[in-house]
């Protein structure tokens, strides 16, 4: 069973894709030339996302949500200072919980200058008897990035054994690399072997095998590409935010195409491909490889909601839910949590409400 969908019998845990409370913040981006065109400076984000005036029970603000369930409580982790956390018992009404890092791990500031305690796209998973929280440390327009790991035996901050343990960096990228070490997601193959997928722009989505005991690659485990898009004029290879699940005997790679972080001008959309092996090759419904820009679109801007992306998948019972953020056209383009039940057709492809 894929780890982010696993139920832990001891706790009644079902890891899920998560929600967040941040209206606007720098995220990740493309190589420097594309970054200059992204419209995602702190100033432009602030202008696109003024304070919300929506009712208190409207969908919470979220970006790159990853959610888990322990006992009767849902926990949502999202991009933000120290990694933001919210809790709910009904997935409708949310309240803030303690941030993951207070104080922050010193290595993040020392390793990635300018990251400013702001961590991107956390992924929460349970395996090997503890929670694993992977997250990205980076700055806009650069691929000098790192993926960090924190572990905990529980998500319940009221328990005496609650403590986030900083496990340090897992994967790093440097200017010489043709990939960007952000947007991590943990997945298990058919043998329960853990893998980490990640990536944004540059050479696209990558995957690397992890050691089960440490949650990190060994020296023998090499990074390999599993999805990318061509770099052409006006199109800087805009693919990021991978998420892998297993459905039946196949593996499914979800990713976000195009551009986030522009409010209602965001063009994010969610694509998917399928493979027999966790490390590919992933093909879309038309048989095109995701290494060649393939990807079947399952969700794009529609009605009130713009730029859906940054998704994960939550399995509860026999239902799979697509959990993602989208920009609210009725609230100044603020990013909000969205949860849609997926359906699977007779050919084994997922569909989201409002999708093609």
Helix and strand element counts for the chain (H, E): 3, 24
Residues marked active site are found at 64, 240
Distance in angstroms (rounded) separating the CA atoms of residues 226 and 268: 20
DSSP H or E stretch at residue 107: helix 106-111
Give the number of other Cβ atoms within 10 Å of residue 266's Cβ.
24
Extract long-range pairs of 220-223: CB within 8 Å, 24+ residues apart: 223/171, 223/179
CA angle 194, 196, 198 (to 5 degrees): 165
Give the number of other Cβ atoms within 10 Å of residue 263's Cβ.
25
Distance in angstroms (rounded) separating the CA atoms of residues 321 and 341: 4
């Amino acid at each position: 069973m894929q780890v982010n969908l696993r139920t832990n019998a001891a706790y009644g845990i079902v890891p899920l894709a998560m929600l967040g409370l941040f209206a606007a913040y720098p995220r990740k981006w493309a190589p420097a030339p594309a970054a200059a065109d992204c419209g995602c400076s702190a100033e432009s984000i602030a202008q696109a996302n003024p304070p919300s005036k929506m009712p208190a029970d409207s969908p919470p603000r979220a970006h790159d949500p990853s959610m888990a369930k322990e006992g009767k409580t849902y926990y949502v982790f999202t991009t933000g200072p120290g990694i933001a956390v919210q809790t709910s018992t009904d997935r409708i009404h949310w309240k803030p919980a303690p941030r993951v890092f207070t104080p922050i791990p010193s290595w993040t500031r020392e390793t990635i200058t300018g990251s400013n305690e702001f961590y991107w796209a956390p992924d929460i998973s349970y395996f090997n008897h503890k929670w694993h929280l992977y997250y990205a440390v980076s700055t806009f327009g650069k691929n000098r990035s790192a993926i960090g790991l924190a572990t905990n035996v529980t998500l319940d901050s009221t328990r005496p054994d609650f403590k986030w343990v900083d496990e340090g960096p897992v994967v790093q990228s440097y200017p010489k690399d043709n990939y960007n070490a952000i947007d991590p997601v943990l997945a298990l193959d058919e043998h329960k072997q853990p893998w980490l997928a990640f990536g944004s722009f540059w050479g696209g989505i990558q995957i690397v095998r992890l050691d089960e005991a440490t949650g990190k690659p060994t020296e023998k485990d090499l990074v390999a590409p599993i999805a990318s898009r061509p770099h052409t004029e006006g199109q800087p290879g805009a693919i990021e935010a991978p998420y892998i699940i297993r459905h039946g005997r196949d593996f499914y790679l979800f990713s976000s195409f195009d551009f986030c972080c522009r409010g209602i001008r965001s063009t994010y959309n969610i694509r998917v491909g399928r493979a027999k092996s966790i490390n590919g090759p992933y093909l879309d419904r038309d048989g095109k490889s995701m290494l060649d820009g393939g990807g079947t679109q399952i969700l794009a801007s529609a009605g009130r909601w713009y730029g859906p992306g940054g998704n994960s998948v939550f399995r509860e019972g026999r239902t799979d839910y697509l959990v993602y953020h989208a920009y609210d056209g009725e609230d100044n383009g603020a990013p909000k949590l969205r949860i849609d039940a997926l359906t699977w057709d007779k050919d084994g492809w997922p569909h989201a409400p409002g999708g093609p």
